[in-house]
A and B are shown apart, each in its own frame.
Chain A
């Protein structure tokens, strides 16, 4: 907290495939380019063969040759439980190995020679973006707002926050991506309207309804589908290609060949993207499948027209619209009452999607924002508003809602909602319930989040036990459970025996899979790492200074030595060699490679000794 109030603040869009960082600079939000000049940084990282950590574009480039040690789409795994459906699905398609955490409750990734927790992986991406921002501002950056999909549960949000801590960032707030997009959309416009954000990304679909007035962004309802995104569209195209290929080649099954499948997947995605701009494209994959037994290899060559793609994916688009309709019903808003529809996410470029949105709302969706940058920009605006509240009423205020029901497990394994979804935070609510056995002296309070009526289908956020209940007949003891969500989205739960006043409470936090202890250890390691790097830099500086001094002395002596040599029986060889050494030193300094310097230093010193002798001898009047 000591750092608060100082330095620039940033907004980070930590995406499944790409991430971006933005900041409000001189009152205007803008995306900060990374050190290679790109606005988007791939959310990919890897450990190279020499043990070096690679992040971003450079990691993505080497992915094909180093698949087992390259991690992407970590966002799918963050805050997930080992053994959950999502993780099992991911294991089937991800090329890198997943393992269970030490408590067997979270997912870890094996990369290079060690096992990483998912927040650590995400922290590397966040750290890279932080470094980009620091290079941009020329000063340390310690505070950020990070975005997550609206449907993310408390555990996933907490894990994202932990990733920020590991990266050395104080995460001021986790905000929802659609909300963030709306913030960016509203920047510099005076909107007094109901706005719908339709966010169809690579893996998920999110829809949010906001009521914007007087710079207050009031989220009315959020909805979405975790299993509806660009990849589902790709799969439809792939299935079509696989089926067609089998028909053409007498039942040859492409699904049996993982290499062919990977090529097919890339081609399907590419074709889908192209069809957003043109009416027809061809998929051309030569030598896709070996013929076997001396027969020639099989090629795939097919035309895909836009109307065919639309036919294949029409039901997916219909599902998006159904979710949108349901969310509008939740909010009590009719499509005609909506003033703006903002399209976010790469999939929203598809003409069929745009057409469906247009038909449902009866209006043209807005094209005023860049679908890939808008989320980071919104995060930057919120970060700026949180860091500079003194700038008055013109600054934005965000009123967000709980995305899912929060509640308790009650007798019979049922879920009792205490705070319903779409409740504006900060908020609080209480629920009174009674004991279910005679002479019950303690009660277990299990705090859950989700939308199912059965407790077991919802996410367990935490649990605790209330002891010291007065023995009585069942149903006679009243226990009041209070839920409280602060503006930071931190959930606190307390339980009180209404008769004895016995009170027990928890702050629901430890769900990211990393214990506080583990988190501290990782952060300490990072500090060590940083110190080491600092020491290394100091060492480098010292050596560089010495080497430069030596080189300068040698260069100064070169003319004298040359004349001396000319008169001696030594060849010019020595001067050429000495100059080569000096050159190497300069190159090493340029590259910042400290490991080469000690060896070079020795050569320099010996050369200098020699030169001094020669120059001295040569210089002496004979």
Chain B
């Protein structure tokens, strides 16, 4: 056996010729082992099969250190072989330390598993995981507390998914339910708020479109109602408030028109149409000075606003007259 073992290994003549009190066979063993320290895994260094038991590892270690410990060669000339032996001893001890510690051994065994073993282990691991999932599900069904937690988790996950896909109404519904079930859930409430806002904006857009359609067919009262609701649902967007203000003015409700226009200005202080609407509302409610200031501001932001310009000219005239 040993002859085969060293077959592909080149010994340096100088190493073998060094005058030390060690038999040639042991010198070869030391040189060969030391040279292979980097490539051997812990199992092969100790000479045990992959995933050998802790007891086997210890037994192998004890046999090896009886050869590879400097004390076993006390009183002999060792020369450079002393360091070589110590290096091998250290590697053996490291191997023993890893492989006799149950936790480290399992991890190391997985990493160093031969391919077919690896496949088997992997299959085993997946099976174990699947079984664990099943167990969780069963538990969820039987235990109300666990069931609730699972339900909250599911709702939040579904709500998030809907939120990402832009289905705000659905998301808001799920997330609000989740927040209701578990008021201390870290995400549910904030996500629900976001979904609710998203859903509001969506609904407002729908109402706006309905209102435009209603106006076309001359159903002014319906249009005003839809726009009013849209402005309330999505107060951040000035578009609905401006439209609602215009519709209210047309219906002769100057005060409401003014409130809505003010809401639009408040939501978007740099929106020319908001000031235009405010100017119109103020004009209608008999406050020409404020109306003029609002219209001037509107033209300042957007000089192309025809209605504002016309209205302003009219106001100037009335002022002069």
Contact = CB atoms under 8 A, between A and B. Distances in A.
> Interface residues of B toward A: which range?
10 to 19
B89 A387 contact: no
A426 B63 contact: no
B74 A387 contact: yes
B71 A397 contact: yes
Interface of A: 4-5, 172, 211, 213-214, 216, 218, 385-389, 393, 397-399, 424, 426-428, 486-487
B75 A216 contact: no
8 contacts: A4-B75, A386-B74, A387-B75, A393-B66, A397-B69, A397-B72, A427-B90, A487-B69
A389 B75 contact: yes
Contact of B90 (A4, A387, A397, A426): A426
Nearest to B87: A428
A20 to B, nearest CB: 23
Contacts of B147: none
Contacts of A211: 58
A397 B86 contact: no
A427 B65 contact: no
B148 interface: no
B65 A397 contact: yes
Contacts, number: 52
A486 B59 CA distance: 24
B93 A427 contact: yes
Given A213-B58, A216-B66, A397-B65, A428 B90 contact: yes
A399 B73 CA distance: 14
A213 B63 CA distance: 10
Interface of B: 58-59, 62-63, 65-66, 69-76, 86, 89-90, 93
Contacts of B71: 385-386, 389, 397-398, 487
A426 B69 CA distance: 9
A389 B62 contact: no
A185 to B, nearest CB: 19
A399 B58 CA distance: 13
Given A389-B74, A399-B65, A427-B90, 15 more contacts: A172-B74, A213-B58, A214-B63, A214-B66, A216-B65, A386-B75, A387-B75, A388-B75, A389-B75, A393-B66, A397-B65, A399-B69, A427-B93, A486-B70, A487-B86
B248 to A, nearest CB: 68
Nearest to B63: A214
B90 A213 contact: no
A551 B215 CA distance: 157
Given A426-B89, A426-B90, A427-B93, A389 B65 contact: no
A398 B69 CA distance: 10
* Among A211, A393, A399: residue with most chain B CB under 10 A: A399
The 9 closest A-B pairs by CB, nearest first: A386-B74, A487-B70, A426-B86, A216-B62, A214-B62, A424-B93, A389-B74, A389-B72, A5-B75
A213 B69 CA distance: 16
A370 to B, nearest CB: 26
Nearest to A214: B62
